[in-house]
Amino acid sequence: MAIFGLWVINKAGGLVYQRNFSDGLAQLTSNENLVLAGTLHGIHAITRNLSPTGTSSGAHVIEGESFKMTILLTPTATKFVLLTSLAETTADSMLQKVYEAYSDAVMKNPFHTPEMPIRSEGFDRRITSLIGS
Amino acid sequence: MTIYSLYIFDRHCACVYYQDWHRTKRPRVAVEGGILPGVSQVIAPVKSMDASAAVLGSTISSPRNTLSSTSGVVVAVGDSAEPQGNALLQTNASPASSSVAPTGLPFDEEAKLVYGVILSLRNMVKKLSGRDEQFTNYRTSTYKLHLYETVSGYKFVIFSDPNAESLRMALRSIYVGPFVEYVVRNPLAEMDSKERGLDNDYFRAGVDRLIRGLAVFN
């Protein structure tokens, strides 16, 4: 039960917020994180079209052998991605709370430019109280 | 709960085998040259009329034809040009799936997308974990994709119901069971040839039996 990291990806596939919480995954440079977020954005679009039956959402949970990524796609196409251990069961509800914090502390911030990197102390604080340091 | 489809890719990125069960949105046939021969007869490009007539007309057009016409059962290599001599296969095709009109992408496009997704996710998982960790599966609202990769670079990909448990063990049993028995130990199957797929009646029947025996298959 561990939460490794949080990404917020804007609708163009750019990484606008990234934070690590606990060790367990590789320490990546911000450039590497940007590339991975862009890749995820592309994969998410393709997974919608691969459905063998009916229309599908994009990938919701992606699992490796020791961790998983849970993806929340909002109606405005912003993606919240939570990197957790496989056993973590609260990822979905946690993402909802992060989305709430984002609406309160980022979208209501008059100094924030939409689709640009999030530099907001208020958001940072809300995330810290939600997930921890 | 159900199983939708199975893909096998070799280490040269080519799709070498395909089989499906309960798909409601089926791929269209591949374009000529888009896919190797001997992957699956269902999605093989349609041959022009005179070409297929020529093959059907001659009884001994290839060494393989002599095998199938004399014994009636030895069809160790699947051949898209002779779909009628294939009693085993025809019983396997589930009536439900064959009655649905294809609505999806052409098969060659779809296979490329599937391969692209698993390759990217595999690299992403390796990068994120910093270890030699495998990507195992992902889930959307309507399906779940499972991946099992062998040491030799064969990738077994299965699409199932989103609520299915991990099917890696099932994929592994396809590998150690029918794959080893009817492909690796089959002197007529050209593995790693870059020229044709692995399709043959025994392998197809073996995989079909195994998948239909799974608890998630309904």
Q: Are B146 and B157 in contact (CB under 8 A)?
A: yes
CB contact under 8 A, B128 and A42: no
CA dihedral over B93, B95, B97, B100, signed as positive or negative: positive
Question: What is the interface size between A and B, counted as CB pairs within 8 Å?
Answer: 109
ipTM comes to 0.90
Q: How many residues does chain A have?
A: 133
Q: What is the CATH number of the domain that holds A10?
A: 3.30.450.70
A47 touches chain B (CB under 8 A): yes
A109 touches chain B (CB under 8 A): no
Min Cα–Cα distance to chain B from A23, Å: 10
Let me know if residue B218 belongs to a domain. no
Residues A40, A80: Cα–Cα separation, whole Å: 11
Q: What is the CATH number of the domain that holds B59?
A: 3.30.450.70
pLDDT of A1 over the 50 cut: yes
CB contact under 8 A, A56 and B140: yes
What 3-state DSSP class applies to A84? strand
A57 touches chain B (CB under 8 A): yes
Q: Are B8 and B35 in contact (CB under 8 A)?
A: no
Residues B135, B94: Cα–Cα separation, whole Å: 31
- Nearest chain B residue (CA) to A62: B138
A46 touches chain B (CB under 8 A): yes
CB contact under 8 A, B129 and A26: yes
Q: What pLDDT was estimated at residue B48?
A: 55
CB contact under 8 A, A49 and B134: no
Give residue B152's identity as a one-letter amino acid code: S
Let me know if residue B217 belongs to a domain. no
Closest CA to B2 of B115, B161, B186: B161
Let me know if residue B146 belongs to a domain. yes
Among the partner-chain residues B129, B136, B140, the one whose CB lies closest to the CB of A60 is B140
CA dihedral over A14, A20, A23, A28, signed as positive or negative: positive
A43 touches chain B (CB under 8 A): yes
- pLDDT mean across residues, chain B: 78
Give per-residue pLDDT as tens, B91-131. 444 444 445 566 778 888 889 999 999 999 999 999 998 88
Min Cα–Cα distance to chain B from A109, Å: 32
Q: What pLDDT was estimated at residue B173?
A: 93
Name the more confident of B70 and A116: A116
CB contact under 8 A, A66 and B129: yes
Q: How many residues does chain B have?
A: 218
Domain count, chain B: 1
Name the more confident of A1 and B164: B164
Chain B residue numbers touching A49 (CB-CB < 8 A) = 105, 113
Q: What pLDDT was estimated at residue B56?
A: 43
A33 touches chain B (CB under 8 A): no
Give per-residue pLDDT as tens, A71-95. 999 999 999 999 999 998 899 999 9
Over range B20-48, report the average pLDDT. 79
Chain B residue numbers touching A39 (CB-CB < 8 A) = 120, 124
Give per-residue pLDDT as tens, A6-58. 999 999 999 999 999 888 888 888 899 999 999 999 999 999 888 888 888 88
Domain count, chain A: 1
Chain B residue numbers touching A27 (CB-CB < 8 A) = 130
Chain B residue numbers touching A83 (CB-CB < 8 A) = 128
pLDDT of B88 over the 70 cut: no
Let me know if residue B87 belongs to a domain. yes
Q: What pLDDT was estimated at residue B107?
A: 86
Q: What pLDDT was estimated at residue B79?
A: 56
pLDDT of B164 over the 50 cut: yes
Closest CA to B201 of B44, B92, B89: B89
Domain residues for the domain of A52 are 3-131
Domain residues for the domain of B24 are 3-212
Q: How many CB atoms sit inside 10 A of residue A80's CB? A: 20
With a threshold of 0.90, does the pTM exceed it? no
Let me know if residue B75 belongs to a domain. yes
A13 touches chain B (CB under 8 A): no
Q: What pLDDT was estimated at residue B93?
A: 44
Residues B216, B218: Cα–Cα separation, whole Å: 6
pLDDT band at B21 (very low <50, low <70, confident <90, very high): confident
A59 touches chain B (CB under 8 A): yes
SS3 of chain A: helix, strand, coil, percent, to 5: 35, 25, 40
